[in-house]
Structure formats: structure tokens, C-alpha cells
Structure 1
């Protein structure tokens, strides 16, 4: 019985991390002929107050861009929006084919409909755009910041792919995602092969866990030189309920030539994965990161969540080869703590305090304190 309670607690907190809510999301279910239909989504209000420099993105998430060297930046910035609001439709055919289309309003800097999910699946085969297979929410701490902690496991975003799932194991071929340090190299980069991923995600006793690997080709062709290298990435993530009230969760990631999949590294999200050296060879750039957090269920729809995450990119080889990387982010980190309250089913309100820090290769650094408020109404 205790084991079942622990598993339920883990699954509930994992769902909260994915949806950014402290309660169970709802849906409108109905039949359309022989099809089972579900319409779901939420309206979300986000507000932020930046005590130091203005680090707010759309949805009021915290940004690392411009954070280093922000000592003399104007202080005290307030903003609010509803761009995180989303709507989705799921349908299942009589033959068992499931189709999901979902969007939110973060596109174009905010206010424009953005496609999040558009895929179909049947008998374990999925094709379309959805969460990368090189992603897991098992180790995530629930945050009000839509972009959450640096170092969360994997890509933490959606991409076009073909995936096959059998039990806890899933493999995929995905649209490649990488960049070179310099603009000139990016202008002649090419995608010759899909990204290959494999992920194992399961639970045992009082623990849920996930582990994944990824490999892809990094290449360029300038008409004279046609060079490439292999990039790879891996992560492990876990969540454990230590009691009926408390969960502890976290993740560890390592990349080499795949920093686009090292969450919130670089300028804000993925750092460059490679550079072209003086001989025209593609040289990979490595990085690592991790998170640790705790969730405390206070009962009555109330919870406290505390999390820390950091990522670090190794620019030493690029710097030694004369590549201009002084302004690149070497370390991004954040600590966040929030209180979430569900006064009635499908309504969440919360407040979050966060501290963002960044240090560049040059040694220039900066940090910023932020306060967030959110109200979410699910259907």
C-alpha cells in the first residue's frame, strides 16, 4: 500500500511539473460520431517584477541574455501577459488512431498562435511534432517560470520526429538541432542525417526514473570542404517520494557536440555545439548540467517547491584555437522557490521568488532577483 502511495505521489508531482499547476488539469470530453474527442487547455495570467535588470521574456519567464555585466542596468521592472494560455484537441478513431493538435500564444514574441503539438500515433508508432524523445519531466521541480530551471533533462521542447515505443523503451529519428559558434559556419552548415535518440523511462517501488542517449551529425559544406563530426548527449533523471508529503527529484546531463540539448545553456537556451578550426575540421564543444529540487505537499491544494539548476559549457578548446568566445555564457544557474495554491479544482494560483546568475568566458558575470505571480484556469 505504501509503495502504491509513493508511486501516485511521484506521478502527481511529475504531472504538476509538466503542466505548471498544483492541481489536476481537466478536459471537455465528447463523442463525434464514432470518434472520442477531448478539448483541453487553460487561460493563464503571468506577472513579473524584476528587482534588478529587466530579464523578462514573454510569459514573464527569466532570460539569461544580457545578464552578465548588468550592474549598471536600470532596476525595477514590472510586466504581465497571458501568452502562455493554450488550447488543444485530441481525438481517437474507432481503429485506435490518436491525433493531437495543440497551440499556445507565445509565438512571434507573444500574442501569436504557436504550434506546440501536431502528431498522430498508432500501435506504438508516432509521427509528427511533439516532445523530443530526448526529454523527461520525471526529475523536474514544479516552477511558475514557464522556461524553468537550467539543467533540466534533455531538450525540454518539441520537435518533428518519428518514434516507436514499446513498454518503457522508446527510440526516435528527429529533426537535427545544433549550431556552430560563428555565423559564417552556420551559413554553410547542413543537415545530412536525422538525430537518433533512445530513452528508458519507468518506475520501481517509490521511484520513477528516466535515462536517454542521443547522437547526431554536425556538418558543413562550403563547396570546397565537406566536413562533419559526431555529437552525442545523455541524461539521467529521477523522482522519489520520501513520504506522503515530500518528493525529491533531480537530473544530470552531459553533452559533447550536442549543446542544443543542454537545457538553458549558452545565451539563453542551447549553446553552440561545435566550431570549425583553422584546418577546417569540425570540433565539438562539451557541457554538463543538473538540477535538484524538493516538493512539499501541504494539503488542501497547497504546495511549496524549491529547485536549483545549473549548466556549464567548456569553451577552453575553442578559446585555445583562437575562436572569439569571450562573450559566450560559460555558466548559467538559477534557484527558484514557489508557493502554489489550488482554491478549487482546475484553478491554480502561485507566487515564486527566483535568482538567476550567469558568468561569461571572459569572467564578466551578473545576477538578478525576480518575483513571479501566476493564475491558471484549466478546462
Structure 2
């Protein structure tokens, strides 16, 4: 009797689950997209080299250009780490609204991978968010960043020096052309006494970002702002540090259409921008002799021109720069980055919209406050299939 009673119950539960799943599939569309990208690079450094496994050998990171060393022979690297895959789901709700979910992965900046035998790489999450009505909740591009102003580059970012670049958890509200968000905080701090970088997550408040975009047939122009709290607390080992400082930033970005061509511009400046600008080429603040934070001012600028040669051939000409205003009386033996800059040009060939072959030459320079500097010259080739 127990067996006979349990069997119909199980069948009812299974039937209900299948019915619910069927109803969900009837109202949900799922899309799989992404691309496969293979890159090969020839890199020459004037003052040193990057060790095997350094992420600076995978894509351009301004702070990693070697300085003060001896010139070595050209390094060759090849990988597929920029390849990515993306799942997007759209569900029609009973109230007439729609909810969207996005989950995207690539293979950059992970600990896995061994080029000796298998060249296996661990996937990492790039984006994971939901959108409902005017709200976005999850991890995606910072509202302080204008992705549409980024030029087409063979390198992972390209105009890295002067670019605001951050993906993080947030809650964002959008109304027309206006966006405002509360985003995950993190502080990077120079240590006056010991040197090196302190990464602190002691902030009591989220980073507040906002952007307004003007757009038309001519392109778009955006104004973005950042306000955040830089905080460092350390009560360990007899230390008594509890200090905060306010950080603010301004970003002006644009893409102007010139017939089939276009020009893209970014200008970024602020006190304590730190990790937001140039892939953290400078820290947000420095811990002075009184164990108090003082913000580091920094600025960045980029300009890029895209020219269409034909239906299948195009080029991008790019320049980017970064500078930091370091108070050397607070730096002790630290020799921080004063400026970085890079210029690059590429040729992109797309026989179809899904397939692109490209080549790019880049020249970059980094200068420290001491006057020590170093340069990078890189030729990068790529093949990309987008689906």
C-alpha cells in the first residue's frame, strides 16, 4: 500500500515540475554568443623583460613596462585567452514586463594554464547581471566607464593608459539618458613606510557613479562622475590606523561620426582615481607619516580615429596617455609612475562580418618620477570568429 501511494505522488511532482519547466521555456528565449580569438605577439622592451606567465605578455598593461634594466631579445607569445562565451536569457513576465539575465566568461587573468603541454586555461566571470524595468543588478561595466568610446583594437583594450576600465558588482538605475549606480568599493594605497601597494576593502559606503549621455545621428557625448570613500583600517600588531579620504572623478567621452569613419575621445581626471584609470597605474592615495591618507591626483586622455578603406578593410589610429601628480615628499624610497603613453595603428580585414583577421603595431613608454623610463614595441596578429 505504501508503494502504491508513493508512486502516484512522485508522478504528480514530476508532472508538475515538467509542466513548470515547459511553461518557463515557452516564455524564455536563451541566446548563446561570443567569439574565438587567437593572438600572436612579438614584444621588444628597451629596459628589461617580463617573466613567463606575466599578464603583461598577454595584453598591454601600462604599469608593467620594464624600466631600468638591460635590453633583451624579442619575446614571442601566442594564446587564445581573449576568447569568450556569453549566455543571454529574456523572459516575458505575466505583468507584461521582461527580465533579462546575462552570464559571460573569458580566460584572461586566471591562475590556470600550463604552456609546457596542454595550454589549458580556467574560465573567469566577466559579466553576471539581471535587468528588470529600469534596474540592473549584478556585475558589469562600471557606470563611470563609456564602453562605446573604446576603439577597435587587436590588443585586449588598446588605449589602456587613459581609459577608465572597471567591471564590478552594482545596483544601477536608468532613466532615459541618465544612469546612476552604487558600485562595489575597493581602495589601493601606497605605503609610505614599507613601499608596495595596500589593497583595502574597509570602505563603509559603495562607490557612487553617474552618467548622462547626449546622442544623435552625429554620434554621442557623455559626462560621468565618480564619488567614493578611500578607507584603510589596520589595528593589527600594535598599529592604530583608521583613516579615510574622499575621492572624486570626472570623465568626458565621445564618439563623433565622420561619414563612414569616426573619431573617439576620452578625457578623465580626478583625485584618488586609483584603480579606475589606466588599470591602476597609480594608487588612489598614499599613507603618510601620520598614518593618514592623502589622495593622488591623476589624469588620462585618449583619441582614436577609425578609417574605412573598403567594405572589408579598415584601420584604427590610437593614442593614449596617463599622468599622476605624486607628492615625492611622501614617497620615501618609492619611485612611482609619473606617466605612461602608447600609440598604435592596425589594419583589420573582415571577408564576412563573422570573421576578422588583423595586425597591429604598438609603441608604449613608461616614466618614473626618478626619470628612469622604458619602452615597449609590439606587433600583434589576430584571427577572430564571432558567433
The verdict on a shared fold, with TM-score over 0.5 as the criterion, is yes
Category of TM-score, reference length = shorter chain? 0.7 to 0.9
Q: Secondary structure at the match of 1:299?
A: coil
- Report how far residue 152 of structure 1 moved: 4.4
Secondary structure of residue in 2 paired with 1:235: strand
Q: 2:270 aligns with which of 255, 263, 279?
A: 255
Aligned to 1:91: 89
CA–CA distance in structure 1, aligned partners of residues 83 and 329 of structure 2: 46
> What are the ranges of 5 or more consecutive residues in structure 1 without an aligned counterpart?
1-30
Matched-pair contact (CA < 8 Å) for 1:188–1:222: no
Q: TM-score, normalized by length of structure 1?
A: 0.84
| Contact 2:187 2:200 (C-alpha < 8 Å) held by counterparts | no
Does the 8 Å contact 1:138/1:210 carry over to 2? Answer: no
* 2:332 is the alignment partner of 1:330: no
Residue aligning to 1:17: none
What does the per-residue CA deviation read over 1:259-283, in whole Å, with 9 as the maximum and x for residues that have no partner?
21112452xxxx2111122222211
Alignment pair present for 1:197 and 2:209:
yes
Of 172, 185, 201, which aligns to 1:163? 172
Structure 1 residues 188 and 118, CA, compared in 2 at 3 Å: closer, same or farther? closer
d(CA) in 1 for partners of 2:305, 2:196: 44
How far apart, CA to CA, are the structure 2 residues paired with 1:303 and 1:45? 19
Which residue does the alignment assign to 2:8? none
1:236 corresponds to: 252
Contact map agreement 2:102 2:128 (CA 8 A) in 1: yes
- Gapped runs of 5+ residues in structure 2? 1-23, 114-120
Q: Separation in 1 of the partners of 2:346 and 2:77?
A: 19
Aligned to 1:276: 287
Whole-Å separation in 1 of the counterparts to 2:143 and 2:101: 18
Partner of 1:34: 27
What whole-Å deviation, never above 9, does each CA across 1:105-125 have from its counterpart, x for those lacking one?
114156110100111010010
- Identify the residue that residue 26 of structure 1 maps to in structure 2: none
Q: Which residue matches 2:6?
A: none
- CA contact under 8 A between 2:62 and 2:161: conserved in structure 1? no
The question of whether the paired residues in 2 share the 8 Å contact of 1:58 and 1:106 is answered with: no
Q: Which residue of 2 aligns with 1:126?
A: 136
Displacement, 1:91? Answer: 0.4
Q: What is the Cα deviation at residue 237 of structure 1?
A: 0.7
1:133 offset after TM fit, Å? 0.8
CA offset at residue 170 of structure 1? 0.5
Aligned pair count?
A: 340
Is the radius of gyration larger for structure 1 or structure 2?
2
SS in 1 for 2:126: strand
Cα separation, 2, equivalents of 1:243 and 1:345: 20
Question: Can you list the C-alpha shifts for 1:110-166, whole angstroms capped at 9, x where unaligned?
Answer: 611010011101001011111111110233221110032134442x23101110111
Hey, what's the Cα distance between the residues in 1 that align with 2:56 and 2:287? 34
